Amino acid sequence: MEIRLENIQKKFSSVVAVHDMNIRIKDGSLTGLLGPSGCGKSTTLFMIAGLYAPTAGNIFFGDEAVTLLPPEKRGIGLVFQNYALYPHMTVLKNILFPLENMKIPKKEALKMAEEMADIVQIRDLLDRKPSQLSGGQQQRVAIARALVKKARVLLLDEPLSNLDARLRLETREEIRRIQKETGITTIYVTHDQEEAMSITDDIVLMDKGWIQQQDSPQQMYLNPGNQFTAEFLGNPPVNIIDGKITDSVLVVCGEKLCGFDGVEDQPVVVGIRPEAVLIGNGDIKASVRLIEIVGKDKIISLDLKGCLIRAIVSLDYDCNVEELLSFSVKHSGVFLFDKTTGARIKGFAS
Ligand SMILES: Nc1ncnc2c1ncn2[C@@H]1O[C@H](COP(=O)(O)OP(=O)(O)OP(=O)(O)O)[C@@H](O)[C@H]1O
Ligand SMILES: [Mg+2]
């Protein structure tokens, strides 16, 4: 089911939580709604769910305008961060609950609940109470309950925030598997860029109620449209430094970093992905200020005449603090942004 938001706005008295939003969510996709706390993710999701009425604009499920439909008529399944299962009911009763509300005959309801339990792989837990399950298992029950009534759209609001780090990894993969297996159009709200990057087909990135970019995770990372997007995605984060373009060359801290054809002379904000700093390759020299070991990688902070630039290398790369290293940069990992608007300025490698 394709979902479209057309000129959607939401105001809470004087606060504009969502500004003039236009998005298209592809049928059968898993789309991440990503952004920092307070940027309007939940507000957007709740408008799609029908829990909030937009102040302006329209929402479509396929060709059907659903803007005025109450939540129960939209065919959605909702899952929140706190699992909200009924604690006194068994897992099976929890999953059956929406079907009983719809007055589906018992035998048929049982079959539907068991099928859904198979899909989310909790068949052997049906007789337990929620308190006898792990957080990840509880979230799977919540997903089964959301989907059992043949939802057309699955809406998840930070479904993993209550889980510990390891369970978060497992459960997000589980959500991806369930989504692929059922083919259900899913919107997944998260503030965690890594989570969004790892499981979604498409990301809608928001800031302060405005959409910053909608793209596949890979495109958004490789080709950010503005400084906010470049900074929000990536760990370790992109290096942000002041620079200037002079005669089609990017100059940072008095050093010529690389050529940028087609960009006029001007001061710029420069974003350099840590993996685009190629150590041992090139003739720019900088001294090592700090070495951090992060899992299988080493992050080296280089001091280039007072500018700090982080580079990422493999763990077995040997170097010492204060050592002088030479480096160059990979053009495709260097972004230029307008100093006042933050918009991307594109040029060509030269
Ligand atoms: N019921 C409400 N009344 C007034 N303001 C609200 C209401 N709900 C949200 N807001 C405001 O709207 C903005 C967006 O809130 P929203 O809950 O959508 O953010 P979010 O992106 O989901 O954040 P988080 O990651 O913290 O959950 C915030 O400034 C918030 O304070
Ligand atoms: Mg929220």
Question: The CATH number of 3-231 is which of 3.10.20.90, 3.40.50.300, 3.40.1350.10, 1.10.10.60?
Answer: 3.40.50.300
AA identity, residue 250 = L
Whether pLDDT at 350 is above 80: no
The answer to whether the CB of 282 falls within 8 A of the CB of 328 is yes
Residue 12 Cβ inside 6 Å of ligand 1? The answer reads yes
For residue 206, which atom of ligand 1 is closest to its CA?
21
Give the per-residue pLDDT at 192: 96
What letter would DSSP give residue 56? Answer: E
Domain chopping of the chain, boundaries: 3-231, 239-349
User: Which of the residue ranges 12-26, 158-172, 297-311 would you say has the lowest mean pLDDT?
Assistant: 158-172
> What's the whole-number mean pLDDT along residues 58-64?
97
The answer to whether the CB of 221 falls within 8 A of the CB of 250 is no
Residue 81 Cβ inside 6 Å of ligand 1? The answer reads no
Q: Which phi-psi region, left, alpha or beta, contains residue 174 (left: φ > 0; alpha: ψ -120 to 50)?
A: alpha
The answer to whether the CB of 269 falls within 8 A of the CB of 242 is yes
Query: Mutation test of ligand 1: which of 12, 157, 191, 207 has the most ligand atoms closer than 8 Å to its C-beta?
Result: 12
Task: Look over the chain and give the mean of its residue pLDDT values, rounded to a whole number.
Answer: 95
> What's the whole-number mean pLDDT along residues 313-322?
94
Please state, in angstroms and rounded to a whole number, the distance separating the CA atoms of residues 347 and 188: 34
Q: Within 13 Å of residue 13, how many CA atoms lie on the same side as its CB?
A: 0
Inter-CA distances, 162 with 25, 75, 82, 90, Å = 27, 26, 7, 21
Please state, in angstroms and rounded to a whole number, the distance separating the CA atoms of residues 265 and 287: 29
Please state, in angstroms and rounded to a whole number, the distance separating the CA atoms of residues 215 and 213: 6
* Tokens of residue 52, six digits: 């909030």
Atom 4 (ligand 1) nearest CA: 12
The arrangement of strands across the sheet holding 210-215 comes to 76-79, 153-157, 185-190, 30-34, 202-207, 210-215
AA identity, residue 238 = V
pLDDT in tens, 83-115: 689 999 999 999 999 999 888 999 999 999 999
Question: For a pLDDT cut of 90, what percent of the chain falls above it?
Answer: 86
Whether pLDDT at 15 is above 90: yes
Give the per-residue pLDDT at 83: 66
Inter-CA distances, 12 with 83, 188, 213, 325, Å = 26, 23, 24, 54
Inter-CA distances, 22 with 9, 81, 210, 228, Å = 10, 26, 10, 19
Q: How many CB atoms lie within 10 A of CB 342?
A: 16
pLDDT in tens, 132-158: 998 888 989 999 999 898 899 999 999
pLDDT in tens, 249-284: 999 999 999 999 999 999 999 999 999 999 998 989
Confidence of residue 319 (pLDDT cuts 50, 70, 90): very high
Residues lying with their CB under 5 A of ligand 2, a single-atom ion: 42
Residue 43 Cβ inside 6 Å of ligand 1? The answer reads yes
CATH topology of domain 239-349: OB fold (Dihydrolipoamide Acetyltransferase, E2P) (2.40.50)
What pTM was computed for the model?
A: 0.93
Please state, in angstroms and rounded to a whole number, the distance separating the CA atoms of residues 95 and 102: 13
* Tokens of residue 316, six digits: 């077995």
